[in-house]
Amino acid sequence: MPHFPKPWFRPSRNIWYVQIGGRQHNLGADEKEAFRRYHELMAAPPTKTEPPHTPAESVAVLLDRFVDWVEQHQSPDTYRWYKDRLQSFLDFKTDQFRVKELAVAQLKPFHVQEWIDGMESRKKRAKPLKSGTKRNCVRAVKRAMKWAEEQGYIEHSPIAHLKKPAGGKRDNVISPEIHCDILAKTRDQNFRDLCHFCFLTGSRAAEALAIEARHVELSNHRIVFPIDEEKMERAPRIIYLNDEAELIIRTLALKHTTGKLFRNTRGHDWHPDATNCRLRYLAKKIGKKVCLTDYRHSLATRLLTAGVDALTVSIILGHADPSMLAKVYQHINHEHSYLLEALRKATSSGV
């Protein structure tokens, strides 16, 4: 028997859809009108000249496709990251427009900007949005539209020229003294191991949480993520281990031959939200707000102030572009004693 496409309802969008001939049609929110439109589409003769996807499709349909693609091809955390932000964008509405009702051709940069401004105005009673939060929200929408352009769903992204807000400065440094205080006031060895490993290696938080026994090369004193598991997928990511970091990894690798090495006291994988909660709790005891990523910035600061050249520091941190040190770690400019000592060393030859 021939198979006929049937409409379906997506509660998150409050819209009926049907897919005919490889194209997804928005049938609207009213069920009766949606089925009338569906029968109209089924009765219409197929047109060979009509492209499978047209810019007249709604923003909601396009973002749905992107999120579905991310779910299939990216990690669960990446899927949730995009889904939360794009759903917030689609839910945004004003007296003049509703984002989920806009066609792609109607989408303008000011729609995204008003969404960001609207989020900030709702949070003014607590605190304004961080610059990084604004940047990530804009980045999520721009990436979805760029993906649609790359896939051929649309000819050009309607928000290609929208500028992303500047990111925040990474200047929260965890000194060795504060790190010792964190370890002393942490109740379990599992979390102490995770924090100390990040302090010693400067690995990204996501990298530390993703380490498995198969990534460990103790003979070379390093951890290696293959290209397809590396953040930018440009080259294998190598995390170098000193003696203390190697001891932590060796102990965990013997304990957990499969799955993630860093786990909580219940034997479950650490989730980023859980580590953030632990550090927020510790912040009350140590008097300083920190996160695992701060350990990465702290290692970069320690290496630079110790006189390690910028290229070596970039390689240790796994930067794709060594110039990131100059752009991101500008707080080194305020280390007056370090800069003065560097000048003295350079001029001590009497030249």
Q: How far apart are CA 222 and CA 169, in angstroms?
A: 29
What's the 3-state SS for 94-116? CCCCEHHHCEHHHCCHHHHHHHH
Nearest alpha carbon to residue 105 among 137, 135, 145: 145
Q: How far apart are CA 238 and CA 15, in angstroms?
A: 47
Reduced to 3 states (helix: H, G, I; strand: E, B; else coil), residue 174 is: coil
pLDDT score for 259: 93
- At CA 240, angle to CA 346 and CA 171, rounded to 5? 60
pLDDT score for 52: 44
Nearest alpha carbon to residue 252 among 300, 194, 336: 194
Nearest alpha carbon to residue 100 among 73, 132, 69, 60: 60
pLDDT score for 249: 97
Centroid of chain to Cα 203? 16
pLDDT score for 263: 96
What are the backbone angles phi and psi of residue 58, rounded to the nearest 5°?
A: -75, 160
pLDDT score for 333: 53
pTM of the model: 0.64
Number of H helices, E strands in the chain: 14, 6
The token duo for 102 is: 């806009």
pLDDT score for 306: 82
Task: From residue 326, give the alpha-carbon distance in Å to each of 94, 99, 294, 331, 338.
Answer: 41, 39, 17, 10, 16
What are the backbone angles phi and psi of residue 165, rounded to the nearest 5°?
A: -60, 150
Orientation angle between helical segments 59-73 and 131-151, nearest 10 degrees: 90
pLDDT score for 75: 80
Long-range contacts of 224-233 (CB under 8 A, 24+ apart): 231/204, 231/206, 231/207, 231/318, 232/320
> Quick check: 237 and 318 in contact, CB under 8 A?
yes
Q: How far apart are CA 39 and CA 348, in angstroms?
A: 86
Q: How far apart are CA 129 and CA 116, in angstroms?
A: 9
Task: From residue 288, give the alpha-carbon distance in Å to each of 76, 100, 193, 296, 308.
Answer: 31, 41, 20, 16, 27
pLDDT score for 199: 95
Rounded mean pLDDT for each run of 10 residues along the chain, 351 residues in total = 71 75 75 84 64 60 92 86 93 90 91 89 64 90 94 91 76 88 94 96 93 95 89 81 95 94 94 90 90 89 82 84 64 58 60 41
